[in-house]
Structures are given as structure tokens and as C-alpha cells.
A = this chain, B = another copy of it.
Amino acid sequence: MTDASRTERPAGRRRPRQSDIARVAGVSQAAVSLILRGTPSGMALAKETRQRVLDAAEELGYVPDPVATRLASARNAMLGLYTFSTTFPTDVAHSYYPILAGVEEEAGAQGQDLILFTGSARAAARADDPAAVRRVRVADGCLFFGRHVPEEPIRRLAEDGFPFVYIGRRDEPGIPYVGADYVSASADVVARLAAAGHRELRYLREHDQAPASDDRQEGVLRGARAAGMDTAGLVARTDGGDLDTLLRRWLDEGVTGVVVEQTDTGAALAGLGAAVDRAGLRCPQDLSLAVLGAATGTRGRAPGGGAAFSGFDVPMREMGRDAVRLLLELIAGAPGGATRRLLPCEPVEGGTVAAPRSAKKNT
């Protein structure tokens, strides 16, 4: 490739590189590399020479090429963030925004730039295309997240020893992650409903499978058993038919409280909320409603009222921050603590849980 063919740059001036600095400073290109990187050998050079190189670099506005840096097998101080869902959903309310915020914050604090791998190059739907995932290699390491994550392309990265961290718990053994302790938090929500006097509850979860949903369900079951409730028929999925019908049946069965999971799509909560509205019910007067996992700042309002949902918050921002820290430890080759971490969720009092009608007298 001739130099001319590369110069498609509008104004024509190409980026300065080490050899340019070398020419100006009158040293070899390799010396420039040594000096700029501040290596021991670089520092050992004559002070006067070093200064000349440093000055030239400054004057030319030199910035190292991260791709070349990485190919030559060093670090480039870039962390990747790869999402298997829409990174920026149109509906702000149900986004991963807080996670991004946390990742960005910590990356900045650690002097790392962030590369957003925005799904697949051509089709967002093919974000799990192995070739698409491979792109993350330009970074020193990568963060992954999304409700559903393809295992194959990630396994390859793992085999190759490429450092990465999941945001969200994973089942696959050995894979580093920073997740939320949904089990404990969900059990706690049920315990609070039981303490308020509820004996007949139902749990509505999304119809698809994901670690985050499985954990919530386990927590709900655990909480119900701890409260001495019957767990048969406790769990329902959004695909269990018409939600209006379901809700009516529950009321007929004497249900006084419903627990629903809030995920990235928010489908379960939105569907149930609409059904509650259509039934003309108010929360918590007619029905107590608890939500598992709304994120701070993105929580919606309860149907038939303006109260904040009762439940717990997912520490998304903190998950993002901690994932960056863990990734950096992995890149450095020295994980300081556990490589699989579960962060506690903050209970939220909210205003959609109260004592059931029939139990209003006490508790």
C-alpha cells in the first residue's frame, strides 16, 4: 500500500507516529518507544535525549495507536463493554443505564477508556455472532451483559485466556461475574409480605429462562417456605394465558398479594399493572404488589396511584463499578478477591404493600 492511498484523510496530514518523533528528535524509533513508555531502559537514557523526544512528541501531538500497541502485545488501556441486548433501549425506564453509568464512572477513575461494542456490525439481532464477539479483542479485557448470553463465543475467549467479566450471575463454572443477590432479596420481600399478614401470595415471572429470573424464583420459594406458606401454584409465568383472567382467578382464590419480577423488558410488571388497572383495583388498598428488582431511578409508579413500588433495588451502578475493578484485576493477572461476586440488593419500602383487607385488624 502506498502512502498516497492511505491518505484519504481530508486535510491530508496523517497522524504522527513514533518514527516522526524519532526523526525530529534525532533518535531511533525504538528509543522513542522506550522513552515514551517510561520503561526502565527508557528512563536510563540521557536526560537530555529524553527531553528532546518528549518535546517532539508534545509538539507533534503524538498519541499512540491503540491497535498497534495491542498487536505488539502490550496493553492499550481500553476496556470493552459488550451487550447482548439493546444497549440503549428507546424506553429509558427499563434500561441498563445505571450499569453503564457505573462502568463508565469506574473506568474513568481507573484511567481506562471504554469501547462500546454495539451489537453486531450489521444486524443488531446477530450480536451473538461469534465474529462480532471477537471484536472485543482490541480491548485489554471485556465486560459482558445481557439477559441472554450465547455461550460458545465466550468459551472461545476463555480458552484463549482473554480476560472478561460478566455483569450478572452465570451458571457456567469458572466464569467471573459480578451479579446481584436476587435469592436473598426476593426471599426478604416475601418475608415482609408475610409479616404484613399475607398468607395467600402469587409470583409472576417472565416466561423465558435466565439466571436472574431463576434466582428470584428460588428466593420467592425459599421465602414462602420460611413463612410456612404453601408453594404449590405460587409461581406463574407471563405466558400462562390472559393476565386479566389470571388476576381474577387469583382474587377468587383469596390472593391478597402479588409479587412480580422486573427485568429489562419490564413485560411482566407492565402486563400485570395494566390488568390491575383494568380490574379497577388499587394498590395497596385492594391488592398488595411487590416488585423484584426495579433499579433505583428507573422505577415506575404503581397502578391506580402514584406510590413507588415496594420491593428491592438492584445495585446496578455498583455492579458496573465492581465489574470494572474485577476485570482490571483479571487483566493484571491477580484477582484480589473472589472472581464470582454477588452484591446485596437494597430493600425498598415503597407504598404498594400493606396489610391485607381481611387482616387489617392486626399485624
Contacts and interface: CB of A to CB of B under 8 A. Distances in A.
A130 B131 CA distance: 36
A63 B108 contact: no
Nearest to A108: B118
B159 A73 contact: no
Contacts of A76: 67, 138
How large, as a class, is the contact surface on chain A? 35 or more
Nearest to A335: B10
B333 A138 contact: no
B160 A11 contact: yes
B11 A159 contact: yes
A101 interface: yes
A13 B105 CA distance: 30
Contact of A88 (B100, B113, B120, B121): B100
Contacts of A61: 134, 137, 156, 160
Contacts of A156: 61, 63
Contacts of A68: 71
Contact of A115 (B15, B100, B113, B158): B113
Tell me how many chains of this kind the complex includes: 2
Contacts of A137: 15, 61, 63, 65-67
Interface string A118-149: 11111010000011001101100000000000
Nearest to A131: B63
Contacts of A124: 108-109
A336 interface: no
Given A108-B119, A116-B113, A67 B9 contact: no
Interface in A152-171: 156, 158-163
Contacts of A160: 9, 11, 13, 15, 61
Interface in A1-17: 1, 5-6, 8-13, 15
A337 interface: no
A97 interface: yes
A114 interface: yes
Contacts of A116: 104, 107, 113-116
Given A71-B71, A88-B105, A160-B15, A121 B111 contact: yes
A134 B121 CA distance: 26
Contacts of A104: 87-88, 116, 118
A338 interface: no
A67 to B, nearest CB: 5
Given A71-B67, A116-B113, A117-B113, A10 B138 contact: no
A52 interface: no
Contacts of A111: 121-122
Nearest to A157: B61
A285 interface: no
18 contacts: A6-B74, A9-B159, A9-B160, A9-B162, A9-B333, A10-B330, A11-B158, A13-B160, A63-B130, A65-B137, A65-B138, A66-B135, A67-B76, A87-B104, A88-B105, A104-B116, A107-B116, A115-B115
Closest 7 CB pairs of A and B: A11-B161, A108-B118, A111-B121, A88-B101, A114-B116, A63-B137, A67-B70
